[in-house]
Amino acid sequence: MTDATLQTADAGRVDFRSPAAQAHLRKRYAVESRFKFYGVAAIAFAAFFIVFLVSDIVTKAIPAFTEHRLSITLTPTAERVAEGGRTDRQTLMAGDWNAVVRDGVGKYFPDVTNRAQRSKLYNELISIGGGDDIRNRVIADPSLLGKPVQAQVLLSDDSDLYFKGMMTERTEREGRGSIGVSGTSGDVSIATNVNDFAQDVARVRSDLQAAARRAQLEINRLKAALETVAPDRRAALQDQINRQIAVATDMDRRAKSVGGTELIGDSTSSVLVKMNGGVIKLTEIGNEKASGTVLIPLKDASEAKPGSWKIINLTTPEGSRKLSDQQIAWLDRMKEEGLVTQAFASRLFFSGDSREPELAGIIGGLTGTALTMLVTLVLCLPIGVLAAIYLEEFAPKNRLTDFIEININNLAAVPSIVFGLLGLAIFLNTFDMPRSSPLVGGLVLALLVLPTIIISSRAALKAVPPSIREAALGLGASKQQAVFQHVLPVAMPGVLTGTIIGMAHALGETAPLLMIGMVAFIIDVPRSVTESATVLPVQIFLWSDLPEPAFQAKTAAAIVILLLFLFVMNGAAIWLRRRFERRW
Amino acid sequence: MNVLSQTEFSGPTMGIGMADGESAVTARGVDVYYGDKHAIKNLSVDIPAKAVTAFIGPSGCGKSTFLRCVNRMNDTIPICRVTGDIKLDGRDIYDPTLDVVQLRAQVGMVFQKPNPFPKSIFDNVAYGPKIHGLTSNKTELAELVEKSLRRASLWEEVKDRLDASGTGLSGGQQQRLCIARAIAVSPDVILMDEPCSALDPIATAKIEELIDELRQNYTIIIVTHSMQQAARVSQKTAFFHLGTLVEEGPTKTIFTNPHDKRTQDYITGRFG
Amino acid sequence: MNQHIVSAYDSEIKSLQKKVVEMGGIAEKMLSDVLEAIEKRDVNLAQQIILIDARLDGLQREIDEQAIHTIARRQPMAVDLREIFVVSQIAGDIERVGDLVKNIGKRIIAMEGHFPPKTLLSGLRNMNLLALGQFKAVLDAYIQKDVSAAMNVWSNDGGIDRLYNSLFRELLTYMMEDPRNITFCTHLLFSAKNIERVGDHATNIAERIYYVVTGGMLTVSRPRGEDGADMAAVETNT
């Protein structure tokens, strides 16, 4: 059509000033600018997702790089840690260092005496590795035994999350009226002269309203299920529905009530009152008065003046978080005492895996990855490059080499899990190599990467201008001399780039390693290629599966480190290419 | 009226710089096949020693193919087959007992595109002597490199930067470096495959000047598409067409009064 | 001969050849006109001949310039090189022929009033006809690139030389008979020498044709008639 419009009376000649020609020209430019726009849009689209992905991961990972500790004076006594007065390393290692920590922390909580309370305080708030620091100090210098030592005590993952604000939203406000209390411990009742608790009552009621709505949704879901369930289970389900209806109705009624008092339970946000050096958890609340349980004993039962007492709101209901109001009160207390410090979490980099999130680190996975990559590199670089050189430079071009070439190309496209199965069948079952070891992992990954390296090396060799071969051959160099002294050095940047891209591919590979057992939970850092190990991507895979919320941040942090590892490898590829590139 | 005799010039004894009229390379009944393609048909030619012989002819006429037979570069092409007799100083170069590495040390080659190794200027020249073990110590090697660079008229230009990359030189310097590299192994014959086709006229003139100097010590065979160049640098010219040697003779005869009509047509620009 | 791949090259050479042939035609006309001028004692015709020679000089300059340009641009080889080189030389030959004929014209003007008797002119007339014939033949041979025709011209030059020798003797006799004849006899003698030289130029052109076509130089010396200037030689040769 455009051709037809361009036809003018003078056949074969176009008047470029005619409207038709102008329109044609405009159309051409329009097509071009449209194409450019599509290109820019595609790049912007991809860039957006990359930025989104990276920022999401980095944001999630940031908390994992810091940890909270107690900076506290501990006194390691001989009876706790030095059995029979021996101060040798072995005895000290076996000492009850957590008891030392308990002794130290216990000074701040003299009223916590019963067994259940002590367990909640010492076992749940303080990490199981809390005594590591004082232990290491004393082992390094046994003369510290019996003396007060300033030491770092690692808090548990939940305490850490609370201080990072990831456990619950916490607000604190000063009381406006004077407040009176009925006692210093146990269940007490309190009253103020203004309606200090009015907004807390409103909040409790709106929480009840929300809970009632959730219950109603659950009822609807169950009613729908009633239609499809087997007849014999129908009665039980109907019972459940009836109970839910009763609960929902009750909550709805309470939410809509006006004045009076309201009970605070598991599904409503907590309200704590801090006065006279103690903390009271409110259980029933009205606008001016409330009753509750003392969490930390008050110094006295005198009336507190406006502004000298505080109301603390914890938004997340007690039933929906891992730490109880009591534990939070203790943590707040520690913070007030100035014991809590935040520091860089070096454990993330320097310790092995652990079931305790605050103790878990990636050094095991990182070492495993390094050893596996070493095995892979040592195997596939020489084999791949030599195979490529032989196929490209020496092998006769016939059906057999064509067949080999096609198969190498096909092998590059085989799903990686197949290589895992192959490794399982050959290396583990036939050759009886050590399971979960970097050696087998490296062998499997070498198989995976070999086709990539051969293909890219061949391409690099093919790209070397034939004139350089001729120059060497023309001087009387043998073919082998020409290839190794002239062609290969010129092809080296391409070969290295291919190898490193292949290695980067192997670095992120998980599936084949699962097949050969590198998915085990291994605490120790592997010291040789035959020891059991795991690798970084598998470590990430394992952590992502764990229930502790602290592991989410750890997972993200490990991903960031893996990405950095990849960037470093790709950077090395670029650097090597620049370094070896020769001007031609 | 015997004013002009063609027979007077035939035979191997032509060439201005050739006192004894000795032939360095003699070919008799050479046939070259690339697979099914008959690239050179029953070619016989004598290359005079210590003189420049130019091969001219249209593309695909077999002149480069024959050139590459002389140092057996065609061996690198699997489908290439050579029959007939090519003798270098009386020795059959296709004799199975002859080592191709030695042959190539004796017959140097300079290519169409300057192809220095991506190494230093020194290493470029030193490479041949190194692989053939021509020198026993570093001083000797350095002397040989200097001598070769001087012979290639490149020494003065590069003596201060022997460690610089050979690929950083200009095109003409690169080609002279390639010539220096070739003469470093003291060949008897230097083959040049269109050595100036990638160079500007000034660089070309320098190479031609160099070829003229080298003629005193080396037998040079040059393939060129520039008839003017063939006329300028060579003493003997051979015209190839469709795989056959149409005419050979003293350059001055070929370019003023060629015998064969095809030669006439080619050199006067009447082909096609 | 095939066409050149570059057709402009062909037209340049053709244009050169055309100009040489044009020069040849002009010289030929001058040669026949000069005979008429002598026989009819026509001073005006002689005047015209002198004027027309300028045209030959101009053409020769054009040919030389064009030949230089073609050499510079095309770098001619082999047959083309010979052709262009020879075109320039032939142009020079024809220009010389023109000069010689012009010289005869000048002598005709100089002889005004003292013309020799018609009987004396027959020898000159024969020489002129022979030279004209040689000149025509060699121009035809050039156009045809006919080596054998050129060789004919080359070997026939002896006839002119012989005629010149006999005319020389005849004029000598006249001059000895009556000193008053010396003036016009000398003019006639120089005219005859000029015509003899025209014949020499024709043989030069024949040699150049041979070179263009065969690429060889004629190295053997030309069969000569008796040298008119050397009486001793005349005696021995006859």
Residue type, A23: A
Residues with Cβ within 8 Å of residue A428, at least 6 apart in sequence: A435, A440, A516, A517
Structure tokens at B8: 């007077």
Which whole-number Å values give the CA distances from C124 to A109, B88, B260, C39, C230, in the listed order?
156, 70, 47, 10, 19
Chain B residues within 8 A (CB-CB) of chain A?
71, 73, 76, 78, 101-105, 108-109, 111, 113, 115-118, 127-128, 131-132, 165, 167-168, 178, 181-182, 185
Chain A residue whose CA is closest to B78: A396
Residue B15 reports pLDDT greater than 70: no
pLDDT in tens, A459-495: 999 999 888 988 999 888 888 999 999 999 889 888 9
* A128: DSSP letter: T
- Measured between CB atoms, does C80 come within 8 Å of chain B? yes
DSSP string, C137-151: HHHHHHHHT-HHHHH
The alpha-carbon gap from C9 to the nearest alpha carbon of chain B, in Å, equals 9
More confident residue, C158 or C67: C67
Residue B5 reports pLDDT greater than 50: no
* CA pair distance A425, A430, nearest whole angstrom: 6
Structure tokens at C154: 């080359």
Chains touching A (3+ CB pairs < 8 Å): B
The per-residue pLDDT for B78 is 82
Which whole-number Å values give the CA distances from C191 to C54, C109, C139, C168, in the listed order?
20, 12, 22, 11
The per-residue pLDDT for A421 is 92
Q: What is the mean pLDDT of residues A389-418?
A: 91
User: Smallest Cβ distance to C218: which of B3, B258, B270?
Assistant: B3
Asked whether C and A share 3 or more beta-carbon pairs under 8 angstroms, the answer is no
pLDDT in tens, B184-232: 999 999 999 999 988 889 989 989 999 999 999 999 999 999 888 999 9
Residue to substitute from C9, C75, C79, interface B, most B β-carbons within 10 A? C79
* CA pair distance B242, B60, nearest whole angstrom: 7
Of A451, A488, A443, nearest to A469 (Cα)? Answer: A488
The per-residue pLDDT for B143 is 93
Contact flag B270-C2 (C-beta cutoff 8 Å): yes
Under the banding of pLDDT at 50, 70 and 90, the label for residue C223 is low
The per-residue pLDDT for C1 is 59
Pairing type for strands B189-193 and B107-110 reads parallel
Residue B3 reports pLDDT greater than 80: no
Q: Which residues of C touch B231 (CB under 8 A)?
A: 77
The per-residue pLDDT for A111 is 86
* CA pair distance A227, B198, nearest whole angstrom: 88
How many CB atoms within 10 Å of residue A479? 15
More confident residue, B5 or A329: A329
Residue A331 reports pLDDT greater than 80: yes
* CA pair distance B175, B112, nearest whole angstrom: 9
Chain B residue whose CA is closest to A490: B118
Contact flag B3-C77 (C-beta cutoff 8 Å): no
* Mean confidence (pLDDT) of chain A: 88
Residue B7 reports pLDDT greater than 60: no
Of B61, B5, B6, B36, nearest to B246 (Cα)? Answer: B61
Residue C37 reports pLDDT greater than 70: yes
* CA pair distance C152, C137, nearest whole angstrom: 9
Contact flag C2-B4 (C-beta cutoff 8 Å): no
- Measured between CB atoms, does B6 come within 8 Å of chain C? no
* CA pair distance B39, B243, nearest whole angstrom: 5
Q: Where do the domains of chain C lie, and which CATH numbers do they carry?
A: 7-237 (1.20.58.220)
Q: Which residues of B touch C210 (CB under 8 A)?
A: 3
The alpha-carbon gap from A409 to the nearest alpha carbon of chain B, in Å, equals 25
Pairing type for strands B219-223 and B189-193 reads parallel
CB B67 within 8 A of CB B223: yes
Structure tokens at C78: 């082999």
How many CB atoms within 10 Å of residue A9? 6
Residue A542 reports pLDDT greater than 50: yes
Q: What is the mean pLDDT of residues B100-128?
A: 91
DSSP lists the bridge partners of residue A172 as A312
Residues with Cβ within 8 Å of residue B165, at least 6 apart in sequence: A582, A583, B118, B119, B120, B121
Contact flag B104-A583 (C-beta cutoff 8 Å): no
The alpha-carbon gap from B265 to the nearest alpha carbon of chain A, in Å, equals 33
How many CB atoms within 10 Å of residue A4? 7
- Measured between CB atoms, does C119 come within 8 Å of chain B? no
Contact flag C76-B268 (C-beta cutoff 8 Å): yes
pLDDT > 90: percent of chain A: 33
Q: What is the mean pLDDT of residues A386-404?
A: 91
Helices (H), A178-230: 198-228
User: Smallest Cβ distance to B256: which of C1, C2, C81?
Assistant: C81
Contact flag B270-C1 (C-beta cutoff 8 Å): yes
Q: Which residues of B touch A479 (CB under 8 A)?
A: 76
Of A489, A383, A496, nearest to A445 (Cα)? Answer: A383
The alpha-carbon gap from A461 to the nearest alpha carbon of chain B, in Å, equals 15
pLDDT in tens, B151-190: 898 999 999 999 999 888 999 999 999 999 999 999 999 9
* CA pair distance B103, A474, nearest whole angstrom: 10
Contact flag B101-A478 (C-beta cutoff 8 Å): yes
Contact flag B111-A467 (C-beta cutoff 8 Å): yes
- Measured between CB atoms, does C221 come within 8 Å of chain B? no
The alpha-carbon gap from B116 to the nearest alpha carbon of chain A, in Å, equals 7
* CA pair distance A319, A270, nearest whole angstrom: 10
Measured in whole angstroms, the distance separating CA C217 from the mean position of its chain's CA atoms is 20
How many CB atoms within 10 Å of residue B70? 21
Under the banding of pLDDT at 50, 70 and 90, the label for residue C235 is very low
User: Smallest Cβ distance to A584: which of B76, B118, B131?
Assistant: B118
CB A269 within 8 A of CB A276: no
pLDDT in tens, A496-530: 888 888 998 898 888 899 888 888 888 888 888 88
Under the banding of pLDDT at 50, 70 and 90, the label for residue A84 is confident
Furthest-apart CA pair in chain A: how many Å? Answer: 117
How many CB atoms within 10 Å of residue A10? 8
Under the banding of pLDDT at 50, 70 and 90, the label for residue B26 is very high
Of A522, A148, A584, A583, nearest to A362 (Cα)? Answer: A522
Measured in whole angstroms, the distance separating CA B240 from the mean position of its chain's CA atoms is 15
pLDDT > 90: percent of chain B: 55
Residue to substitute from B2, B3, B261, interface C, most C β-carbons within 10 A? B3
Q: Using H for helix, E for strand and C for coil, what is the string for C27-50?
A: HHHHHHHHHHHHHCCCHHHHHHHH
Residue B8 reports pLDDT greater than 50: no
pLDDT > 70: percent of chain B: 92
Under the banding of pLDDT at 50, 70 and 90, the label for residue A260 is confident
Residue B272 reports pLDDT greater than 80: no
- Measured between CB atoms, does B3 come within 8 Å of chain C? yes
pLDDT > 70: percent of chain A: 97
Helices (H), A508-584: 511-515, 536-544, 550-580
H/E segment holding residue A68: strand A66-74
Q: What is the mean pLDDT of residues C153-177?
A: 89
Least confident of A230-239, B77-86, C43-52, C214-223: C214-223
More confident residue, A429 or A86: A429
Q: Using H for helix, E for strand and C for coil, what is the string for chain B?
A: CCCCCCHHHCCCCCCCCCCCCCEEEEEEEEEEEECCEEEEEEEEEEEECCCEEEEECCCCCCHHHHHHHHCCHHHHCCCEEEEEEEEECCEECCCCCCCHHHHHHHEEEECCCCCCCCCEHHHHHHHHHHHHCCCCCHHHHHHHHHHHHHHCCCHHHHCCCCCCEHHHCCHHHHHHHHHHHHHCCCCCEEEEECCCCCCCHHHHHHHHHHHHHHCCCCEEEEECCCHHHHHHHCCEEEEEECCEEEEEEEHHHHHHCCCCHHHHHHHCCCCC
Of C182, B66, B115, C96, nearest to A487 (Cα)? Answer: B115
* Mean confidence (pLDDT) of chain B: 87
Report helix angle C182-214 to C78-110, nearest 10: 170
Q: Where do the domains of chain A lie, and which CATH numbers do they carry?
A: 170-321 (no CATH), 363-580 (1.10.3720.10)
- Measured between CB atoms, does C216 come within 8 Å of chain B? yes
Contact flag B128-A476 (C-beta cutoff 8 Å): yes
Residue A114 reports pLDDT greater than 90: no
Task: For the sheet with A66-74, list strands across it.
Answer: A149-154, A66-74, A340-344
Contact flag C214-B4 (C-beta cutoff 8 Å): yes
Q: Where do the domains of chain B lie, and which CATH numbers do they carry?
A: 15-115+189-267 (3.40.50.300)
Residue C228 reports pLDDT greater than 50: no
DSSP lists the bridge partners of residue B222 as B54, B192
Q: Which residues of C touch B227 (CB under 8 A)?
A: 77
The alpha-carbon gap from C230 to the nearest alpha carbon of chain B, in Å, equals 29
| 3-state secondary structure at position C135 | helix
* CA pair distance A191, A199, nearest whole angstrom: 15
DSSP lists the bridge partners of residue A68 as A342
Which whole-number Å values give the CA distances from B5 to A261, B1, B253, B257, B258, in the listed order?
137, 10, 11, 11, 12
DSSP lists the bridge partners of residue A191 as A180, A289
